[in-house]
Structure 1
Amino acid sequence: MTKESFIYTTYVVSTPGKVFEAITKPDLARRYWGHENVSDWKPGSRWEHIRANDERTVELVGKVVEVSPPTRLVITWANASQASDPASYSRVTFELEEYEAMVRLTVTHDELEAGSGMANGIKRGWPIVLSSLKSFLETGQAIDVFARPRASERAA
């Protein structure tokens, strides 16, 4: 089975502490991601990615691998429906670096099965989630992470 990685870097006018909190605090993540990341954020602990709606569906699960606030967080990542299959897990690393008056946030999602639904989904998902995080921290307004491309209008 071939593995692939996805790396995305963005710059946020904020502090590493605020960006780290936005990733790990459920009440903040729900405002820009539409999900809550729930854990005690200790190595070996479980984390859950819970849809912030009335159903409160657990969509993703994993374990905390490494945590060094406010500069690094590493977690495993799998669809909740595949949680019992060790081969379904990938890994996400959040690296935060002060960059003058900004934070350089690099998300590396690796150990992905090449061509899988997860690999294809995160290539669309991470850019919009991280754009929303950036907008939220810089302006107080998140973007709609559930937005879909508009169908092109056809001439009559």
Structure 2
Amino acid sequence: MKPLFFTLLILMGAGLMANEVKFEQMVYIKTTKAKLWNALTQPETINKYYMCPILKMGSKKGEIISYGVEGQTFIEGEILEFKKQEKLTHSFRFAGKPKAKGDQGTMVTYEIVEQQGLLILILTHSGFRAKNQTYKDITGGWPYILSNLKTLLETGKTLRK
């Protein structure tokens, strides 16, 4: 009886995972872990490649991360995990976007993996229940942001003119 019960639990869990909507992208970057970590966590570097300026960047669990301009926040979240040069996870919610107002909060995870002298940055934006407005916006934004980050770290320049 127990094996059937556990098999059903596993199958139910697999079904739930299959229905999760998420965005994942891997980028190979020729740089050091320290430089990549700084690019993910230091406001002066983030502002060079990200689509909007960073207002606050926490450095430990529970602290705030937010993007926008003076007096207006566009993206807000909370640091959920901060493992230096390994992993950064934060919650994510569009704060100033009327079309995304009813969308639930999601989660962004940056993981740094070293392989054959290269670093792999794995970005996972998860927690979507559907392909809502937030999902549509981030699937257009992340490829540009990650390409801009890679270009900055490898050439010292960005994709912006």
Task: Name the TM-score, length of structure 2 as normaliser.
Answer: 0.78
Query: Percent identity of the aligned residues?
Result: 25
Secondary structure in 1 aligned to 2:131? coil
Q: CA deviation at 1:87?
A: 6.3
Q: Which runs of 4+ in 1 moved over 4 A?
A: none
Secondary structure in 1 aligned to 2:61? coil
In structure 1, the residue matched to 2:156 is 140
For the pair shown, the structure with the greater C-alpha radius of gyration is 2
Q: CA deviation at 1:47?
A: 1.0
63-72 or 113-122: which moved more? 113-122
C-alpha RMSD of the superposition: 2.2
Q: CA deviation at 1:134?
A: 0.2
The structure with the greater share of residues assigned to helix is 2
Q: CA deviation at 1:39?
A: 2.1
Secondary structure in 2 aligned to 1:28? helix
Secondary structure in 1 aligned to 2:81? strand
Residue type of the alignment partner of 1:36? I
- State whether structure 2 residue 112 is matched by structure 1 residue 96: yes
Secondary structure in 2 aligned to 1:42? coil
Secondary structure in 2 aligned to 1:88? coil
Q: Give unpaired runs (5+ residues) of structure 1.
A: 148-156
Task: Name the TM-score, length of structure 1 as normaliser.
Answer: 0.80
Q: Give unpaired runs (5+ residues) of structure 2.
A: 1-18
Q: CA deviation at 1:66?
A: 0.5
Task: Give distance in 2, aligned partners of 1:86 and 1:62.
Answer: 16
Task: State how many pairs are aligned.
Answer: 139
CA contact (8 A) 2:72 2:96 kept: no
- State whether structure 2 residue 57 is matched by structure 1 residue 42: no
Residue type of the alignment partner of 2:154? E
In structure 2, the residue matched to 1:119 is 135
- State whether structure 2 residue 36 is matched by structure 1 residue 19: yes
